Structure 1
Amino acid sequence: MTDVILPCLDEAAALPWVLSRIPPGYRAIVADNGSTDGSADVARAYGATVVDVPQRGFGAAAHAGLRAASADIVCFADADGSLDPAELDRVADPVRTGAADLVLGRRRRTVRGAWPVHARCANAFLAAVLRRRSGVPLHDLGPMRAARRTALLGLDLTDRRFGYPLEMVLRAASAGWRVHEVDVRYGPRAAGTRSKVTGTVRGTARAVRDMGRVLRTETVQ
């Protein structure tokens, strides 16, 4: 069994599709970060384990899901329908076979409007800084990723906001992990929902600010 952690804030419209696409052999853990639209109830109705996370922040939700997981290998993915859980094996298999320690999905748009230009540019900038700082050949700080649970916990991640995904890669690189990248499809969010990050310039700016703080404080050995 592999656990897949889905940080969630008001994704009731997307969860039915997302959870119905979870492959056999995976257990969905929805880390609910204070949803007011019934997301937790929808998740439970589709058989997911729900972790209530009162501390607000993407990192808080992701890390609470990690702590609640029990499988040897864990994956992370967005709960908004932009990523297809049917592709989880693409990130998990290299970890299972021992070919990699941390695998990130490099997002490839399925339609032109799936990834706003301001969000793509911010992601490309941060990935370039990451490559220079760490030497890890990543082009995308993709939200679909996989690693071994105990190893992730051993990184002692502390960011509880949008810097969490970047901190994970920086600390993994510092620990000498083999960090790989594979292509995954990236489509539009579920109808009637809006991203807290890529959907607005303000959300993207907040994520860049949080990740910039991590870049200033983390040193790759």
Structure 2
Amino acid sequence: MTDVVLPCLNEAAALPWLLSRMPDGFRPIVADNGSTDGSREIARRHGARVIDVPRRGYGAAVHAGMLAAGPGDGVVCVLDADGSFDPAELPRLAGPVRDGAVDLVCGRRRPTGVRAWPLHARAGNAVLARRVRRATGLPVHDIAPMRAARHDAMLALDLRDRRFGYPLELLLAAARAGWRVRELDVTYRPRAAGTRSKVTGTVRGTLRAIHDMRAVLAR
């Protein structure tokens, strides 16, 4: 069984579709970051394990989910809970890690349209990804919010960022550790109707994420 960590904050509109698409052999763990819209109850009704994460922040939610995961088959995936990614693509990402071909698979977002990934967010992501390539040599073009890795190896990286810098810190730490990293295209859709991304939904949210990631680069 492969655990799937789903960081969640007020994603009630997306969870039914998302959890119904979870492939056989993949076990969802919803790391709830203080939802007030019934997300926890909806997740439980759809068969997910739910853990409460009092500390706010994307990295805090993912880290708590990582601690709750396992033992399973040794592989853990991370997937946004907003309905922008299709869980049906998870086996394609987890497979190379399970087979020992690579240490980390990152999903490179291929948006279905401008609504899925606004230009301001796409541009900020491209700048950061280019810096990562130059600094580390990793073949990445996206600071990926969808990924798969070995569970024990992820925890051994001892990532410390608890905000939006977490995915960037992961890439930098993976490079330092000599990980084999592969990037695979994944479809990126608009979020569930009536919801808005905490990052890409506003310019302010994007700037906050870039600020967190620049702080990681500075460290």
The TM-score, its normalising length taken from structure 2, stands at: 0.98
**For residues 63-212 of structure 1, what are the structure 2 equivalents within 5 Å?**
63-70=63-70, 71=72, 72-212=74-214
Instruction: Note the alpha carbon deviations across 1:153-202, whole angstroms, 9 max, x for none.
Output: 00001000000011111101100000110000001100000000001000
Distance 1:111 1:195 in 2: 15
1:112 CA displacement: 3.2
- Residue 44 of structure 1 corresponds to which residue in structure 2? 44
| Aligned partner letter, 2:112 | T
Distance 1:33 1:189 in 2: 18
| Aligned partner letter, 2:60 | A
1:54 CA displacement: 0.1
Number of residue pairs matched? 217
Pairing 1:59–2:67 present: no
Distance 1:162 1:109 in 2: 21
- Percent of aligned positions that are identical: 68
| Aligned partner letter, 1:59 | G
| 1:65 partner SS | helix
Distance 1:61 1:188 in 2: 22
1:111 CA displacement: 2.5
| 2:40 partner SS | helix
Runs of 4+ in 1 over 6 A off after TM superposition: none
| 2:95 partner SS | helix
Instruction: Note the alpha carbon deviations across 1:75-119, whole angstroms, 9 max, x for none.
Output: 000000000000001211110111110010000012332110000
Distance 2:101 2:114 in 1: 33
| 2:129 partner SS | helix
Structure 2 unaligned residues grouped into runs of 5+: none
Instruction: Note the alpha carbon deviations across 1:40-92, whole angstroms, 9 max, x for none.
Output: 00000001000100000000000000000003100000000000000001211
| Aligned partner letter, 1:145 | R
Distance 1:136 1:106 in 2: 13
| Aligned partner letter, 2:172 | L
The alignment's C-alpha RMSD in Å is 0.6
Distance 2:151 2:202 in 1: 32
The TM-score, its normalising length taken from structure 1, stands at: 0.97
Distance 1:157 1:142 in 2: 16
Structure 1 unaligned residues grouped into runs of 5+: none
Distance 1:167 1:91 in 2: 20
| 1:114 partner SS | coil
| 1:119 partner SS | helix
Distance 2:173 2:21 in 1: 31
- Residue 10 of structure 1 corresponds to which residue in structure 2? 10
